[in-house]
Amino acid sequence: MPVALVRIHIKYHNMLRRLTGVDMQALDLPAGCTVQTALEAISRQYGHHLHEMLFSPNGTVATHLVIFHNGQLTRDDPDGLLLSEGDELMLFPSISGG
């Protein structure tokens, strides 16, 4: 039986854009996927430099990654936040002053 897919959109900002080389992309993921699933998928696609920006060495989502889900800042557990068809994630690397 074919796996049902949902299509989401990911927008990359600043350093993340430089590492991926794209402003945004569509991503087809299995229904029931979470933000964590999406981050893992793009991490596999773009390799370890992007992985370092998305995840801490212990495998949790990096503290300096800022995620907006459908335009709203999310601080929820990325592994518990389900994605639906047409959802949009905006990813910012958070590096501030001094």
Partner 1 sequence: MAGGPEDTLEIMSNQTVAWVDLTTQDVELSPLETALQGQFLGARGVGASLLSRHIANASDPYAPGNPLVFSVGPFTGTPWPTGARYHVTFHSPLTGAYGYANSSGVFGPALQQAGYSALIIVGRSEKPIYLEVTPDGIFFRPAEHLWGRGTREVHDALEANGSRVACIGPAGESRVRFAAIINDRGRAAARCGGGAVMGSKNLKAIVVRGKAQRDLPAAFIAEARHAFAKVRDHPNVRGLRDLGTVVLVGPKNRSGDLPARNHQSGQVPWVDRVDALAIARYTYRTRGCYSCPIRCSRLTRVERGPYPGELEGPEYETLDALGPLCWVDDPEVILEANRLCNDLGMDTISTGATIAFAMECHEHGLLADAELTLQWGDPGSVLGLIERIARRQGLGDLLAEGTKRAAQQIGGDAHRYAMQVKGMELPRQEPRIAKGFGLGHATSNRGADHLYALPTIDLAGNLDAARHFFPPQIVPELMEADNEAYKPDLVVLSEHYCAVSDALGVCKFSTAETYALYPEDLAIGLSALWGREVNGQDLLTAGERIVNLERLYNVRLGLSRIDDHLPERFTTEALSIHTFERDASGEVVRSASPIHIGRLNDFEAMLDRYYLLRGWDANGIPTSQTVRRLGLQSYVRGFDAPGD
What span, in angstroms and rounded, lies between the C-alpha atoms of 78 and 75? 8
Least distance from partner 1 to the Cβ atom of residue 41, Å: 20
Cβ atoms within 10 Å of 68's Cβ, excluding its own: 15
Given the rule CB under 8 A, which residues bind partner 1?
13-15, 18-19, 49, 52-53, 63-64, 66, 68, 73, 75, 90, 92-98
Least distance from partner 1 to the Cβ atom of residue 28, Å: 26
How wide is the angle at C-alpha 57 spanned by C-alphas 31 and 43, nearest 5°?
40
> Two tokens at 77?
């557990």
Task: Rank residues 8 and 53 by Cβ distance to partner 1 and give the closer one.
Answer: 53
Least distance from partner 1 to the Cβ atom of residue 31, Å: 28
